[in-house]
Amino acid sequence: MRYPARLRGRGERTSISVKGTLSKSSEKKQTSQRPAIFCDFDGTITRVDVTDEILAQLAHPSWREVEQEWTCGAIGSRECLERQMALVEASAKELNALIDAVAIDPHFASFWRFIEECKLPFYVLSDSFDYIIRRVLKRAGVNGVLRNGTHMFASALRVEGRRLVTAFPHCAAPCEHGCATCKPRIMRRLSGGRGPVVFIGDGLSDRFAVDEADVVFAKRQLLAYCRENGIACHQFATFAEIETALRDLVDAGRPRRQRGRSPKAKSER
């Protein structure tokens, strides 16, 4: 199967291979080609890195020294976040006020309605924290679904007095990258036998995830990384462009007679 022109990348690959076989005669198999979407949080759904904002405003300044160790590759993101969040001193009220001021991609709420309308599998993968992600996404109309470990895979955070207590439920066995949440590992586990695997991201820590994806949407550092390494990807600025491209992809996977129609609630799942 070749994807619509808009979905083909500019890198070395001119078309993207689809995992699994597509039988033209079977509608069931056709609909199983619906994409599974994996999405970074910080800087991708939000306009800024929320963790960096928390550290800049609420942590002891020595968090920057820890950041240096991570930047130069001396420590992984798990150790980095564990040590940095221990330097934060804030009440739940102060933390919530900061989180509630974080700007979200203006088209994410509409993108989320599209995901729900098409019933596409959607997962947030993040080194950041469930507490923050849930609170931010609630503002974009995402409610209830994103339980940590089902549709969201992130580090865990709770507030105890003026301390932030962290846990890392998704790195029981340490990975080779030292991730707090190992994105490629989760993608491998959840995408088996499904339709094309889509990854959306912005940062350097997303570079391990693109290896597991058939279709990559990238901005900022991830875009630069993909270009430097000849990895096919689609540049995006907002979720409006991703929604347009994914509508084409979902449409291409449907039998011809159904194209252009909105998916029905149950019959097409």
The answer to whether residue 142 forms part of the interface with Zn ion (CB under 5 A) is: no
Exposure class string for 65-100: b at 16+ Cβ within 10 A, else e: ebbeebeeeebbbbbbbbbbbbbbebeeebbeebbe
Dist. CA 199–CA 206, nearest whole Å: 9
Nearer to Mg ion, 52 or 248 (CB): 52
Q: Which does 182 bind (CB under 5 to 8 A by kind): Zn ion, Mg ion, none?
A: Zn ion
Find the binder of Zn ion among 29, 177, 220, 227 (CB under 5 A).
Answer: 177
Q: Which does 40 bind (CB under 5 to 8 A by kind): Zn ion, Mg ion, none?
A: Mg ion
Residue 125 CB, nearest approach to Mg ion (Å): 10
> What DSSP character marks residue 173?
S
Q: Which does 243 bind (CB under 5 to 8 A by kind): Mg ion, Zn ion, none?
A: none
Residue 61's alpha-carbon distances to 27, 82, 93, in angstroms, are 58, 15, 21
Residue 183 CB, nearest approach to Zn ion (Å): 7
Dist. CA 82–CA 127, nearest whole Å: 11
> What are the helix and strand counts (H, E) for the chain?
10, 7
Residue 88 CB, nearest approach to Mg ion (Å): 19
The H or E element that residue 123 is part of is strand 122-129
Stretch of 63-71, 175-183, 187-195, 238-246 lying at the interface with Zn ion (CB under 5 A): 175-183
Residue 128 CB, nearest approach to Zn ion (Å): 15
CA angle, 188 as apex, 185 and 189 as ends, to 5°?
90
Nearer to Mg ion, 40 or 212 (CB): 40
Residue 177 CB, nearest approach to Zn ion (Å): 4
Q: Which residues bind Zn ion (CB under 5 A)?
A: 175, 177, 179, 182
